[in-house]
Chain A
Amino acid sequence: MLNRVLVVGLLAGLVAGLAVAVLQHFTTTPLILAAETYETAGKTAALAGPDFGGARIVLAHTGHEPVAGAEAEGWKPEDGLARTFFTGLTTVVSAIGFALVLLAGMIAAGDEIDARRALAWAAAAFLATGLAPALGLAPELPGAAAGPLVARQAWWVATAVATAASLWLFLRTEAAWAKVLAALLLVAPHAVGAPHPAGFESRVPAELAAQFAARSLAVQAALWLLTGLAVGLIWTRFARRVAA
């Protein structure tokens, strides 16, 4: 059974990841490249840095400690084909991860795996890892001011887990106490609040950032839904082959 899960996860992630990599190429990547031109232009000024009452601003791309002059950076893919390749590869890896998590959830729940059910799970997963975290941490373009990275990542993961647990309790349990707990879990991460920067730094036009926030959520939704659809279709095809 594990082999089947791994093969279906791999294939579904590959199909969905490649499709979304193409989508990214035409939706989010052009905005990231455009934002980087503003970021580069504003870097020298940003390094001098305004002081927001002593609070530290971590400006995306300048690293944790501002270094005067050239930015000390390790390996990164060359702009163009190499960058597109690694972006696509990462999306495929993420999609395989999504597919395996989706399969794990459905199997643990004892659900029959087909396209319709897998799509419903994928939609719920997008609420947990896309919409809910975005409420606290809006999708950001390079150059945007942001709170400390580890704190944001921790908040993101905690929000995704709490929202997923909340959806499970709402949809799959009957007890009144479970519904109350579900409501608490849904609200708690936002009551605590995401780590935010002390001020605003980005030189990227607001219109560009707004477009990016919307597109980025749509891209994540597309990745979840396509992954779910592919998981359901490929799983049922395997089942038919085993039965035949």
Chain B
Amino acid sequence: MTGLSIAGAKTASARTRAEALRVALVAFFIGAALVFVSGFAHPEAIHNAAHDTRHALSYPCH
């Protein structure tokens, strides 16, 4: 393998890694937002709809 192609492979792997981290970040924020809405959001209608699940999953409720 030439030096050039090794450098190329390294750049590609760094790019893949950066892409993976970007995906992980987006997935984390969407996931955390869903957990927040179902488990923590205060608006009364959301609280009432989610009530039994909040208790069942031991989130602080009320």
Contacts and interface: CB of A to CB of B under 8 A. Distances in A.
Given A100-B31, A107-B23, A108-B20, A146 B49 contact: no
Interface string A98-118: 111111110110100000000
A88 to B, nearest CB: 8
Nearest to A155: B60
A5 to B, nearest CB: 5
Contacts of B49: 76-77, 86, 89-90
A73 B36 CA distance: 22
A77 B47 CA distance: 11
B27 A104 contact: yes
Interface residues of A, number: 61
Contacts of A149: 42, 60-62
Contacts of B23: 1-2, 5, 104, 107
Contact of A100 (B34, B44, B48, B58): B34
Chain B contact residues: helix, strand, loop or mixed = helix
B12 to A, nearest CB: 15
Interface stretch (A24-32, A48-56, A167-175, A177-185): A24-32
Interface string B19-62: 11101111110111111111110101100111111111111111
Interface in A136-166: 137, 139-142, 146, 149, 152-153, 156-157
Interface of B: 17, 19-21, 23-28, 30-40, 42, 44-45, 48-62
10 contacts: A60-B62, A76-B48, A76-B51, A87-B51, A90-B54, A101-B31, A103-B31, A104-B28, A110-B17, A220-B57
